[in-house]
Amino acid sequence: MGMWSYALAYLAAGLGAGLVTFGAGFGIGKIAAAAMDGTARQPEAGGAIRITMIIAAAMIEGIALFGVVVCFLLASIKP
Amino acid sequence: MGMWSYALAYLAAGLGAGLVTFGAGFGIGKIAAAAMDGTARQPEAGGAIRITMIIAAAMIEGIALFGVVVCFLLASIKP
Amino acid sequence: MGMWSYALAYLAAGLGAGLVTFGAGFGIGKIAAAAMDGTARQPEAGGAIRITMIIAAAMIEGIALFGVVVCFLLASIKP
Amino acid sequence: MGMWSYALAYLAAGLGAGLVTFGAGFGIGKIAAAAMDGTARQPEAGGAIRITMIIAAAMIEGIALFGVVVCFLLASIKP
Amino acid sequence: MGMWSYALAYLAAGLGAGLVTFGAGFGIGKIAAAAMDGTARQPEAGGAIRITMIIAAAMIEGIALFGVVVCFLLASIKP
């Protein structure tokens, strides 16, 4: 019965990596879509908008990287 | 039967990391999208909007980092 | 009973790869659609929009590549 | 009972390939639809839009190819 | 009990082929619909739109072909 604990760890690693990527893709996608929409509407504000976008995207990136590292940790558990 | 408790801890770590990232991505994405929309409409208010965005995003970031640390803790339990 | 742990690892690898690709496709698709929409509306801002798009898409790409590597790791576990 | 682990690997390969293709089709479809919409609205920006589209589509393509390779790996596991 | 592993392989081949075709049909359908919409709005841009459409559709086609090959592999496993 001891093996089962690793089985669920592996399952969680795969599904978790998928969920993390989906979350990051959804969030950064929404941000960047708004950034590009704004740049097209006000080209002279493009620099300020890009800096704002990078700050916000880096925050999501930090959480997502931490989340993927948790999944990586789960995937590399050795029985 | 004692092993099962670790199995569910690992499962929770993976799914939890995914859910945390999704929540943070959704929240910060919505904030930053509105920030960039506002900056494009009023470029001279860009500085004030960015500071407001960073304050709000940092709050979500704090909660999300704590949540990912909980998942990290769950993933590193040793039987 | 020991084999079961690998069974779930394989299942997670396949479903995880699918979820990761879906997340990356959703995010990068949203970004690029907005980029092309903006380029068509303001052709002279096309260069700035493309750089913004590549920065944001590369962030999602980084998370997604990490996620697929986790799935690859799960798929190549040897019993 | 050892065969079951391969059974789930095969199941994951099929469903994973389907999910990966759906994700890539959704993402590239969205991108290309926006590209063609933009080309029709601003025919003289068609060249810039096409280059932007190819960059973004190639990013999704890279993730999707990696995902299908993971599924291929799962499908070719020998018991 | 060994036969069951092939049973799931065959199940996955069928469902996977269906999902792959659905994904490719969804993506290429969206692309071609936008292409025809654009051609009707700007008939003189028809050539550029068609080239853009073929590039994007070929990318989805490549992923889908690989996915169907995975399903073919699953369907031709010999017990």
CB spacing of D23 vs C28 below 8 angstroms: no
The per-residue pLDDT for range D7-52, each reduced to its tens digit, is 888 889 999 999 999 999 999 999 999 999 999 988 888 888 899 8
Average pLDDT over residues D63-75: 92
Q: Do A71 and A20 contact (CB within 8 A), yes or no?
A: yes
On chain A, the residues whose CB falls within 8 A of the CB of B13 are 9, 12, 16, 70, 74
Using CA atoms, how far apart are residues B48 and D32, in angstroms rounded to an integer? Answer: 36
| Chains E and B contact (Cβ–Cβ under 8 Å for 3 or more pairs) | no
Q: Do B60 and B53 contact (CB within 8 A), yes or no?
A: no
Q: How confident is the model at residue B35, as a pLDDT?
A: 92
Confirm whether the ipTM is greater than 0.85. Answer: yes
CB spacing of A7 vs B7 below 8 angstroms: yes
CATH class of domain segment(s) E2-76: mainly alpha
Which chains have at least 3 CB atom pairs separated by less than 8 Å from chain E?
D
The per-residue pLDDT for range B25-59, each reduced to its tens digit, is 999 999 999 999 999 888 888 889 999 999 999 99
Orientation of helix E46-75 relative to helix E4-41, angle to 10°: 170
SS3 B1: coil
Q: How confident is the model at residue D1, as a pLDDT?
A: 45
User: Domain boundaries in chain C?
Assistant: 2-76
Burial call B28-52: b when 16+ CB within 10 Å, e when fewer: bbbbbbebbbbbbeebeebeebbee
SS3 A42: coil
Sign of CA dihedral B72, B78, B79, C2: positive
Using CA atoms, how far apart are residues A20 and A23, in angstroms rounded to an integer? Answer: 5
pLDDT band at residue E79 under the 50/70/90 scheme = low
CB spacing of E16 vs D13 below 8 angstroms: yes
Q: How confident is the model at residue A1, as a pLDDT?
A: 45
Using CB atoms, pick whichever of C14, C25, C40 lies closest to residue D13: C14
CB spacing of B21 vs A26 below 8 angstroms: no
Per-residue pLDDT of chain A (79 residues; tens, 9 = 90+): 456 677 888 889 999 999 999 999 999 999 999 999 898 888 888 888 899 899 999 999 999 999 999 999 988 887 6
Q: How confident is the model at residue C48, as a pLDDT?
A: 87
The per-residue pLDDT for range C21-75, each reduced to its tens digit, is 999 999 999 999 999 999 988 888 888 889 989 999 999 999 999 999 999 998 8
**B2 CB contacts (<8 Å, ≥6 apart)?**
none
Compute φ and ψ for B33, nearest 5 degrees: -65, -45
Q: How confident is the model at residue E1, as a pLDDT?
A: 46
Sign of CA dihedral A70, C12, D67, D56: negative
Which chains have at least 3 CB atom pairs separated by less than 8 Å from chain C?
A, D
Using CA atoms, how far apart are residues D49 and D32, in angstroms rounded to an integer? Answer: 10
Q: Do A48 and B35 contact (CB within 8 A), yes or no?
A: no
